[in-house]
Amino acid sequence: MRRRRDPRVVVLTVAAFAVLAGVVVGTVARWPTAGVVVSFVLVGTAAVVVADNPEFRAAARRLPRRAVAGARSLSSDDDPSRLPAESGVDPVESHLRGADLLVDGEGDIPRIDPAFERAWRRRIVSMGDRSEDTAALADLLSVPRRDVELSWEAEDGTLVASVRDRPAGRWPSRAAFLADVTAVEEFRTRFPEWWALDSTARTRVLAALRLCLDWCPACDGAVSVSRVGRRGGDPASARLARESVLAATCGACASRLFEASVDPVRVDRPRRPDADAEA
């Protein structure tokens, strides 16, 4: 009996091979450390839900440009020049392997190193309650705590960070925030060159790590990937809800770890012979 592949392994493979567009919010040029903060991760792939369908996987490989276009349309405040273009995949994979985070799994499919995942989980547990989030982000960015502000946007339920009143980051949930902050802390202990990476590379690395989570950083519940409607009650959100939207959501606390807005992937199935023609 053929063993079914874990869809998250395929997700990691797709992410590590640059079929994603990460968007870093903030003035990275003036405040370089803002590059570690990841906003909504827009993943241009349908492989997360059809991991074992070769036709869909082939179609998903054609999606990088669509993902970048989606990033521009969904994040109007970002500088388009900082959005990653379709490119090779070796840098992201090499960064993960250089930190011993990426190992060969079943069938030579990359997966996150179990030792790193355990260390990452310990850091998440040590984060404490929400009252410590601002201090954790300030420490990560090496800025005074008084300069950092975390607030929730009531309209779409996103967590927004600012430093000295300038946008610094945006997350779909506290769970996503915890994942990114603690991942950076653990990653840079294994990869001292972390701060030498450009903002696009850091964004992609963090996105690849978050995409492989099957447990919730906020409550340890199980995370599943499915097609959902985009959150928000405005007309634009209603229109976007009709698009192809993939999301990773905790089944216990409903925290959204990431959203992926992609164009629908059409795969033409072989035509069945006409019954009348056969007769």
Query: Is 273 inside any structural domain?
Result: no
- The total number of structural domains in the chain stands at 1
Query: Is 274 inside any structural domain?
Result: no
pLDDT for the residue 227: 77
> What are phi and psi for residue 257, nearest 5 degrees?
-85, -35
Q: Which residue has the higher pLDDT, 22 or 115?
A: 115
Query: Is 140 inside any structural domain?
Result: yes
Per-residue H/E/C for 146-214: HHEEEEEECCCCEEEEEECCEEEEEECCHHHHHHHHHHHHHHHHHCHHHHHCCHHHHHHHHHHHHHCCC
CA atoms of 269 and 26, how far apart (whole Å)? 44
- Tell me the one-letter amino acid at 207: A
Task: Indicate the pLDDT class of residue 120, thresholds 50, 70 and 90.
Answer: very high
Query: Is 67 inside any structural domain?
Result: yes
Query: Is 209 inside any structural domain?
Result: yes
CA atoms of 102 and 83, how far apart (whole Å)? 24
* pLDDT tens digits, one per residue of 72-95: 332 333 333 333 333 444 566 677
Task: Indicate the pLDDT class of residue 101, thresholds 50, 70 and 90.
Answer: confident
Residue 222: DSSP 8-state: B
pLDDT for the residue 243: 58
Task: Indicate the pLDDT class of residue 234, thresholds 50, 70 and 90.
Answer: low
pLDDT for the residue 275: 46
User: What's the mean pLDDT when you consider all of the chain?
Assistant: 65
pLDDT for the residue 152: 93
Cβ pair 186, 116 in contact under 8 A = yes
* pLDDT tens digits, one per residue of 139-169: 998 999 999 999 999 888 899 999 999 988 8
Cβ pair 34, 79 in contact under 8 A = no
pLDDT for the residue 138: 94
pLDDT for the residue 157: 84
- DSSP readout, 225-260? EEE-PPS--SHHHHHHTTSEEEEEEETTT--EEEEE
CA atoms of 273 and 132, how far apart (whole Å)? 64
pLDDT for the residue 63: 34
Task: Indicate the pLDDT class of residue 232, thresholds 50, 70 and 90.
Answer: low
Residues 101-115, mean pLDDT to the nearest whole number:
74
CA atoms of 102 and 95, how far apart (whole Å)? 9
What is the domain extent for residue 201? 7-267
- Tell me the one-letter amino acid at 46: A
Share of the chain above pLDDT 90, in %: 23
CA atoms of 95 and 193, how far apart (whole Å)? 9
pLDDT for the residue 265: 46
For residue 25, give Cα distances in angstroms to 28, 31, 33, 38, 189: 8, 11, 11, 7, 24
Nearest to 217 by CA among 261, 248, 241: 248
Query: Is 277 inside any structural domain?
Result: no
Query: Is 28 inside any structural domain?
Result: yes
The encoded tokens of residue 49 equal 């839900």
- Tell me the one-letter amino acid at 127: M
Residues 234-262, mean pLDDT to the nearest whole number:
71
Query: Is 253 inside any structural domain?
Result: yes
User: Does position 135 have pLDDT exceeding 90, yes or no?
Assistant: yes
User: Does position 185 have pLDDT exceeding 70, yes or no?
Assistant: yes
Cβ pair 71, 78 in contact under 8 A = yes
The encoded tokens of residue 196 equal 């030498």
Strand runs (DSSP E) across 57-165, as ranges?
102-104, 110-112, 148-153, 158-163
Task: Indicate the pLDDT class of residue 69, thresholds 50, 70 and 90.
Answer: very low
pLDDT for the residue 221: 95
- Name the β-bridge partners of 20: 43
Which 3 state secondary structure label does DSSP give 64? Answer: helix
104: exposed, middle or buried (Cβ count in 10 Å: 0-12, 13-18, 19+):
exposed
pLDDT for the residue 210: 78
User: Does position 249 have pLDDT exceeding 50, yes or no?
Assistant: yes
Q: Which residue has the higher pLDDT, 190 or 135?
A: 135
